[in-house]
Amino acid sequence: MGVLMITEKTNWYDESLNKTYGHNNNGLIHGINYIENNETIECAWFKTKKERDEKILQEIADRNGF
Give the global pTM: 0.86
The pLDDT value recorded for residue 4 is 82
The pLDDT value recorded for residue 1 is 52
Walk along the chain (66 residues) and give the pLDDT tens digit of each residue. 567 889 999 999 999 999 999 999 999 999 999 999 999 999 999 999 999 999 999 999 998 887
The pLDDT value recorded for residue 3 is 73
Q: How many domains does the chain have?
A: 1
Residue 38 sits in which domain range?
Answer: 5-63
Among 31, 36, 37, 38, CA closest to 55: 31
- Give dist(CA 45, CA 24) in Å, integer: 11
CA distances from 56 to 7, 10, 17, 43, 45 (A): 8, 12, 22, 12, 12
The pLDDT value recorded for residue 5 is 86
3-state SS, one letter per residue, for 14-35: CCCHHHHHCCCHHHCCEEEEEE
